[in-house]
Amino acid sequence: MQVLSEWARALEELFFPPELTCGFCRERPALDVGACRGCLDALHIRWEKRVLHGYPYFSLFPYQGFGRSLIHNLKFQGRYEVGVTLGVFLGLACREEPELAKVDLLVPVPLAPGRLRERGFNQAALLADNIKGVWKRPICHHVARTRETKPQSGLPLTARKRNLHRAFALLPGADFRGKCCLIVDDVITSGQTFYALARVLEQNGGRPVGLFAARTEAFGSELGAEKL
């Protein structure tokens, strides 16, 4: 009887699929994109291209209010499904962006091993996996984080350079020559981590572009001259 009732349930779900719940609030029914209308409105989505430290990047919403709390839920409360839904959003946006048609590789920003153990997952890798689900691009696993990049503000120039120096290392088999590499992370604030990774990719023949779910408005202006 047990087997029979499982069959009945499977059949029922086949013909009457359960309504998907919003990946953000887990309360209201989701639209096709995986989130409800209320959460979409609260995010203030606006796809933008900007340049920071000389490298272009795209982002989806401001890192404030609801968007900021979503990122916190993802990273510090293990709300995995938030990353899944944001990844789908980013993948759909990338698919529609003509300037990103040339992208060869997704490069999720790696976490240092200590941070990865602490968090249990890398939010950038989670985003990349779900971007790939809707926008078919291979994911690069050939970059490792050797140390955390600390906030740069307030550090003297020599300390800034030391801080960025060798934050990332390439693993055997890495080949970025001539490839357009889309660096993926959840949020861009000062852009130091983005810059450090973009520079490594560029030094190894790649053409880096950034992709972030959220952006800090204060760093939104062109700071291309501020190469450290």
Binding residues vs Zn ion (CB under 5 A): 22, 24-25, 28, 36, 39
CB of residue 81 to Zn ion, shortest distance in Å: 11
Nearest CA to 56 among 102, 5, 8?
102
CB of residue 62 to Zn ion, shortest distance in Å: 18
CB of residue 73 to Zn ion, shortest distance in Å: 12
Phi (first) and psi of residue 56, to 5 degrees: -75, 150
CB of residue 125 to Zn ion, shortest distance in Å: 24
Shorter beta-carbon distance to Zn ion: residue 36 or 201: 36
E-state strands within the chain: 48-52, 55-62, 105-108, 143-145, 168-170, 180-188, 207-215
CA distance 107 to 117: 20
Question: Any bridge partners for residue 145, and if so which?
Answer: 168
Contact 223, 70 (CB under 8 A): no
Contact 93, 48 (CB under 8 A): no
Shorter beta-carbon distance to Zn ion: residue 82 or 183: 82
> CA angle, 37 as apex, 36 and 38 as ends, to 5°?
95
CB of residue 227 to Zn ion, shortest distance in Å: 41
Q: In what order do the strands lie in the sheet with 55-62?
A: 48-52, 55-62, 207-215, 180-188, 105-108
Shorter beta-carbon distance to Zn ion: residue 61 or 135: 61
Q: What is the DSSP string of 94-136?
A: HHH-GGGTT--EEEEPPPPHHHHHHHSS-HHHHHHHHHHHHS-
CB of residue 35 to Zn ion, shortest distance in Å: 5
Shorter beta-carbon distance to Zn ion: residue 28 or 141: 28
Shorter beta-carbon distance to Zn ion: residue 34 or 62: 34
Contact 106, 184 (CB under 8 A): yes
